[in-house]
Structure 1
């Protein structure tokens, strides 16, 4: 006599009963453990066999670091809860890949593609992005190349001003892929914070039904739309943080300090709410 199939408790999740992206907790970083399910609940088992229930429906992104594994069933439940998964380096120092959750329709993606394909409209989107960083400037009639030149001057001046403010030596942005430890502490924090920001933005863009691959300023890179958006938030979340922590850590990189400080800033500015509103603004205006 065949054994009776094990009954499973699986509550169907619909978009109507899920929190919106802006209402979710931004991210949870995990390393050295395994994600499984118990009925329809996602659980995390760490390297010391501690079990933690993951409230997937209210988390925007799971950042999976080294030593993590995930079961097929866990991926299914996370996708149903619209909780995105990104694979990153230790403490999010590097961003490797993201899992795309299915969205209800392709309306936003089609709209994004139409804007990017129209040169005039694409430039208008780029101009709105730059206007958020140059609120006092009249950008009417300026080309993309001119605005990118302005942005380069702004960022270099920002590095210099913050170095003077926090009394930190600064020789310029430096990063060698796979050799982050060869950079100075300020550059290490910048690299770490940037990678974590890319992970959050990528998962948010997917959750909202847009594509990270269709950009308006950056091109020739894997995630141009993510890099476009990241520049709106890097000043406070990444650059100021890097110089402030260099002074606080006394020149010695501490990954736990960086991770906690970055997370605190993300929550303080309500980043997920801002992302949803800013994408709406830069794509379609007011």
Structure 2
């Protein structure tokens, strides 16, 4: 079985692709014409992987070796995630990235002075009116912690959704409050989208400037650019609209709408380039 290969220069750039497709409880295969998804009922859907930024593979999903090859050839990232996006197990990186961006990232991250300068530019996106000159990384992280704590309280009051703090019980999502469950799921989706974009741009998700000691520090650094509107505000809005129902498909649709509305996928790489330009 041999697929017709389209030249890579004809594939859409990541900024022009649909952000992601989430799949669970089924299998991904290929036939002589395309990659296909077969769900648990046996229904078949063709996946236009050359127009998708990333495939998020959830619980109960299998994928053939041939399908992974075809998806990779289309420069579509594959992310294996756990239930409610709580766990990010692995990702398959398309072999098309430019290593020059990685060299620059490493050079800046492994120099103490430039690392703090990049972090300062990242924080300046959230504190446009603050004078961050001379502030240490720890000082700026403290400012950010207070800002986010205040943001949660603000959204709680704005949407009338009770808030008692960030918490989540691994493996027992049904026991978590709707707001925490929704936040966790949305954050997981955002991390997957950011990972896909960073890989496409040749960056390493594992080399961060603010976060450290975690599996994907650069993903967390960049995701924080967008969390306020794309995950935090959206989570409180969704829970406000129906606090007793947690439908992940509704959450995914709303999340994609916000990504497209703010052109997040189109802007991730340029946003990263701007903070690394020092």
TM-score band w.r.t. shorter chain: over 0.9
CA distance in 2 between partners of 1:108 and 1:50 (Å) = 41
Q: How many residues align?
A: 278
Contact conserved, 1:21 with 1:276, CA < 8 A, in 2? no
CA distance in 2 between partners of 1:143 and 1:209 (Å) = 29
Q: Structure 1 stretch 90-99 or stretch 105-114: which is displaced more?
A: 90-99
Summarize the alignment of residues 90-239 of structure 1 with structure 2, pairs less than 5 Å apart.
Answer: 90=83, 92-239=85-232
CA distance in 1 between partners of 2:124 and 2:41 (Å) = 50
Contact conserved, 1:93 with 1:196, CA < 8 A, in 2? no
CA distance in 1 between partners of 2:153 and 2:160 (Å) = 10
Structure with larger Rg: 1
CA distance in 2 between partners of 1:72 and 1:263 (Å) = 28
TM-score norm. by structure 1 comes to 0.92
Contact conserved, 1:64 with 1:86, CA < 8 A, in 2? yes
* Aligned-partner SS, 2:80: strand
Contact conserved, 1:21 with 1:204, CA < 8 A, in 2? yes
Give per-residue Cα distances to partners, 1:62-120, cap 9 Å, x unaligned: 01112211111111111111001011224535432211221344211111100101111
1:244, CA displacement in angstroms? Answer: 1.0
CA distance in 1 between partners of 2:265 and 2:32 (Å) = 29
1:192, CA displacement in angstroms? Answer: 0.5
User: Please, what is the CA RMSD of the aligned residues?
Assistant: 1.6
CA distance in 2 between partners of 1:174 and 1:59 (Å) = 32
> For residues 45 and 254 of structure 1, do their structure 2 counterparts lie closer, same or farther at Cα, with a shift above 3 Å needed?
closer
Summarize the alignment of residues 27-38 of structure 1 with structure 2, pairs less than 5 Å apart.
Answer: 27-38=20-31
CA distance in 2 between partners of 1:252 and 1:17 (Å) = 42
* Structure 1: segments with no counterpart, 5+ residues: 1-5
CA distance in 2 between partners of 1:9 and 1:237 (Å) = 37
Give per-residue Cα distances to partners, 1:136-159, cap 9 Å, x unaligned: 111111111110010011001101
1:176, CA displacement in angstroms? Answer: 2.8
* Aligned-partner SS, 1:35: strand
CA distance in 2 between partners of 1:13 and 1:218 (Å) = 37
Instruction: Name the structure 1 match of 2:7.
Output: 13
1:254, CA displacement in angstroms? Answer: 2.8
Contact conserved, 2:18 with 2:52, CA < 8 A, in 1? yes
Tell me which of 277, 281, 284 is aligned to 2:277: 284
1:49, CA displacement in angstroms? Answer: 2.0
* Aligned-partner SS, 2:53: strand
Instruction: Name the structure 1 match of 2:72.
Output: 79
Contact conserved, 2:84 with 2:184, CA < 8 A, in 1? no
* Aligned-partner SS, 1:25: coil
1:11, CA displacement in angstroms? Answer: 2.1
CA distance in 2 between partners of 1:227 and 1:32 (Å) = 28
